[in-house]
Every structure is written in structure tokens, then in C-alpha cells.
Amino acid sequence: MFKKILIANRGEIACRVAATAKRMAIKTVAVYSDADANAKHVSFCDEAIHIGGSAPKDSYLRWDRIIEAAKATGAEAIHPGYGFLSENEEFAQACANVGLVFIGPPASAIKAMGLKAESKRLMETAGVPLVPGYHGSDQSPELLKREADRIGYPVLIKASAGGGGKGMRAVDKSEDFDAALASCKREAITSFGDDAVLVEKYAQRPRHIEIQVFGDSHGNYVYLFERDCSVQRRHQKVLEEAPAPGMTEAMRRQMGEAAVAAARAVNYVGAGTVEFIVEQHLPEDATSGVTGERRAGPPQASSAPSGGSAAHEVASVGAFYFMEMNTRLQVEHPVTEAITGLDLVEWQLRVACGQTLPLKQEQLRITGHAIEARICAENPDNNFLPATGTLHVYQKPACTSFERANLSNTGVAVRVDDGVREGDTISPFYDSMVAKLIVHGQTREEALARLDDALAQTRIVGLNTNVQFLRYVVRSPSFAQANLDTALIPREEAVLFKQEPVGLAMAAAAAIAQALVDEKASEGADPFSRRDGWCSHGVTQRRFGFEFHDEPAQAELTYLHDGALRLVVAEVSGPLVFSKAAQGIDIQFAGQRLTAAVYRQGEVDHVFMAHGATQITAIDLLAHAGESHAETGRLTAPMPGKVVSFAVKGGDKVSKGQTLAVMEAMKMEHTIAAPADGVVKELLYAPGDQVAEGAELLRLAE
């Protein structure tokens, strides 16, 4: 076994790999950029080497510096994690050239599967079903559009060298194709250095099911069952689970054997994932309004599906089509670990040093059900715009971190994999994922309940996150009933976006109760420092000003002679009773009794309750008297990033919703649209400029 390895990645996956290495008594070397000088993974490893600037191209993509660091520290092997260089055949070959073991497949396998178009041609030769599409080398925009018109809309444009949802656009009609293609190619060049694309038929109500495969250098292969990754936003996964609901044993075997055949075709070694687009057989009560062509595929199994319940018939898995192979460990690998009781990183290390696979196919078993939620710094109500900021509060649920997990059994009910700590900053240079929350239960229903409870205990203050959105998804009818497909999020839009789990009355009551607790704590011993509202005659009243969802609100608190409090918030009134509790403040108001945890950041109170979280802003009533909320002509950057292009120039007339500019941040493109009709007064930056969050990009006049 290796004595020392270098981990050529950052954040959560670097910590994850290091945890297994420590358990196996393997020393680890971290690499870090300027932005990551104080990151968790740097201190988690035994050694750390600085490799360059904050931008990935200046550090984590500089494989020459990474190899130098490995040689300088005496590392015998390099684990690439996922993302960055994990699927770069030049890096894998460069490692081999200098005598370093690349903990992953050989460069030839990465090359064969790395380009989507070439891999599809390879799979076609191997007899694996493919989605209708164009995978050719002629990349002229005119030909690509003709092919899209021939295939029939909707189509999906995908970067051939892509992954992680980047360089991917769905197009509904021919007139939108040119703009989508241009955007896709720009994003592909930025993320992968290659703007080649393929065009495929966009299946109706498909599921995204992937098979975990493993191979060793002795010709042995196994599949470690499937994961359903259908719940996606912007073509990136949000929730993943294993096993896939509705999967039959016969279909599991068919898909697993097809995935192993794909791995054999390229002499694959190590961990890999074969991803399939899967049609489904919908129950009769779920097919209303569903359209989509049926295509020939593998024979259908008739055994009863797993993962369902008596109360709801789960759609069963139907025909499947090869999509791509990811030649690395996947972000969602923990759900496979949870249902198999295996450590996949340990398998990677053993295979990379020449050992055979630890188990044979007939020895593998599925136990229970697991779900992973990706906690990301983003604003779901604003088209999932990535967010940056400091984790002023970062509280995790009662859980087992990976370094303490015992994967020799499947007893870990809640697990958190992360690469951050409270006080760390989420920067604009890297992916927006903060942590992965993984739960395991004996049934899917148990896992769902456990996930919602764990999300309720997750408290993050300092930047926008998707934690509350994840709770909405978990509790949505479609997800709860395993009515899964890649359009689940837009289909459930009415219950997923712009919701308010905590009303104004309880939010204000919690903020006021916390303020009174803080005041009590600051009182001195003398009676003149008391702030409890006592007076010798009459009653004392206090007014509080708030802003809740951009709307002003007021509350009036009355101190009664017997020490009781009465609160009026808008149209809601009643006694206010509260006391400190282990997890915050116990509050009784307006016929409800709830426990709230309140964290103040500036003037904003972040309120967390069992059924949801919200924010309410305290305002000075005198300072805000007469203030208006008139719209201005400013258009600002929603987050730090680079200006890619302007679609207008000074003097142009624009319409509401028209594209004005395109920005790039966190490896994704973001479109800036006109909020109203107007005339462009001035452009304040040029394409290529780096801008700060809130920077004014251009000005509009009515």
C-alpha cells in the first residue's frame, strides 16, 4: 500500500480522500491556491503545498506544479478527486511519465470516454442503446442547426468535453438555437478549453440513473448498483438516492451488466460511473398530460419494483440509453457507500496499488435506502444564482462526519461531508457547494423523514443557501411519491419557489423575544439598568420596525403591571411568553408554541424553526420615516465575476426582459436582463473586466 499520496483537489473531496487515507495509515499532501490558504483541507492533511493564484487556471489546473509538489514531498501517487484534473488524460499520462501512480483509470480510458461524441460512437459499436443525436466532428454552426432541426425539438446541446451541467443548453425551438449554441460554446471553452458540442434529442420526462462500476488491473469488474440523480437544476444534480425507486432486479442487472460492458470496452481501472437516460413506465394516474415518444430499447422486466409503497405506485424503470461515462469518483458516491457499507475511496487506493477488487459481484448487497442533498451557496428564488460570503454561522445536524464514520456497516444514519468551517469564506472562484448531507434509513420513507429533520437542524448565516429549498423538494408531492424525472423542479414550481414557511407574526415575535433576551443579559446589578419596561403607573409600550420580504411592518409590545407581555404584529395580537431553551428560545404567541433560534447579522435577524427558516430586518422607524422605495436606473452585478459581453451599446432602446449583458462567475454564465423598457445611458465596464458584487454595470433611463 502507498505510504504517502498527494490530493490534487480542494474542499470537501480533499477532506474526504484524506479521511480514508488516515484510517489506512497513509500520509497525505494537500495543495492550495491563494484563496485556500486557510481552508479546511489544508490543515486536515499532513502536509500542504502552495501551487498558485486563486483562479483554477493558475492553481488547481496547473498539473505541472501539482506533479512538482508530489515529487518534492515524496508522494507515490496522486488522487485527483472530482472536477479540475480528474478526467484529464494529459495529467494522467504525465503522472505515469514521471513514475507517479494516478489513482484513477489509465489515460487511454479517460481519453476514450472523456469526449462525449467519441464515447457515444464507441458505445454504439459495443451495442449500448444511444439517444438519437449528432456526435460528428463537423462543428459548423450551420450544420449543427440543421442536425437539430432534423432530430426535432426539443434538443439538448452539450459540450463534448463537459460535465457537471456546464456547457449544456436545452433548446425548445429552432429560432433559439443560435444563441444557445454560442452561449454553450463560450461556457465550454471557459470550463474545459474545448468548445466542441454534440446535439441530442431531449427526452420527455426522463430519469437520470447511473451505475457505479469498479475495475482492477487484473480484469475483474463489478457494478455497485444504481443511483437516481433525476432531481436537477440547470442540468446539475440537487438530490441523489440509492437504490433507484421503481427499479426491478432484472432491470438492475441489465443496466449493471451494460455498464460493466462499457468499462471493459476501454480496459477501465478504478471507480467510474456510467450514466443513462431512462424512460419510465408511469402509473395510469400519473400519465395525465405527459407526452413523449416511445423508442425501442432493452426488453422490459416484469418483476415488482423496489422502493415503492402500498399508498402510491412508483413509476417503473423502462428503456435506457447511454449518456456518458464519468471516469472518476462521483460527488454522490456516499449514497452507494451507505447502502453497501463500503468505502469507495479505500477501493480506489487498493486497486491503484495493484490489488484485486475486494469483493465479487455475488458478494455485494443492498441494505436500506440513502439520499444525498447538496447544500449550495445560491439563491433558488433568483434562478439559483450562486452566492458568496462568510459562514458567520455554520451549524450541522447531529451527524457523523466521514472521518468518524464506520463504513463496515450501514448504521450511519446522518453523515455530513464538507470542506468548510464556521468563519470560512465561500469565494467566487470555485463551485458553490458548501456540504453534502447524506442520510440512510431502512426504507425510503424513513430516509425522507430523516433528511427533512437533518435539513431543519442545518443553520447557515452569512450568505444565501438552498437549505430551505431542499426541504421544499423533499416534501413536494412528486419527490415524496418518487414521481421522479429531470423536470421535477419546474413541474413543482408552485410549491418550491418564493414560499414563506414562517409568517410575519412569528418571525417578529422571535426577533423581539431574542432582543429582550439579549437586553436582559446586558443588564447590570443596579435597578436603573433594568430594561423590563417597569413603571410606577400606567403601562409601557415599545414599537419595533421591521422589513419583511421588502415590505415595511410594525409591532407594538406592551409591558403589563403583572410582568406579562402583550404583542401586536399587523393584525395578529396576543400574550407573548418566552424562555430560553437548549436550542434557542421557546416562544408562545398567537396560539402557537415554537422553538426558534435567532442569529443577528447586522440589522438582519435569521430565524430558524422546525418547520422552516426566514429573515426579518430591524429598521429604525424615525430614520426611515418618509423614505420611498423608488426604482433607480442602476443595473448591478449580482455577484463577483467577469463581464463576458454586452448585448447593447449607449443610446440603444431596450425592452423589459431583453438581454443586456452576460457575466461569468463560479464557472457558470449569468444573463443580466432589462428590468423595464428604457434607453441605455452608459456602459461602465468592458468585456473581460472583473467586477465586484454590487458594481454598477450600466445605466438605463426611462
Catalytic residues: 328
DSSP string, 385-423: EE--EE-SEEE--S-EEGGG--TTSS---EEEEES--TT
Largest CA distance in the chain: 92
Identify the CA nearest to 273 among candidates 348, 327, 219. Answer: 327
Asked if 403 and 387 touch (Cβ cutoff 8 Å), the reply is: no
- Verify cis geometry, omega within 30 degrees of 0, for the bond prior to 243: yes
Give burial (CB, 10 Å; 0-12/13-18/19+) of 267: middle
Pseudo-torsion of CA 79, 64, 100, 190, nearest 10°? 40
The backbone region for 25, taken as left when phi is positive above 0, alpha when psi lies in -120 to 50, beta otherwise, is: left
- Give the separation between CA 294 and CA 309, rounded to whole angstroms: 27
Place of cell 480496459: 267
- CA dist list (Å): 74 to 63, 85, 346, 352, 522: 16, 20, 21, 17, 56
The HSE-up count of residue 359 (CA atoms within 13 Å, CB side) is 16
Element holding 673 (H helix, E strand):
strand 668-673
Contacts 24+ apart (CB under 8 A), 16-24: 16/345, 16/402, 16/417, 17/79, 17/81, 17/345, 18/44, 18/45, 19/44, 19/402, 19/403, 20/343, 20/345, 20/346, 20/349, 21/345, 21/349, 22/403, 23/346, 23/403, 24/346, 24/349
User: Quick one: three-class SS letters along 30-53?
Assistant: EEEEHHHCCCHHHHHCCEEEEEEC
The Cα 204–Cα 642 span in angstroms is 35
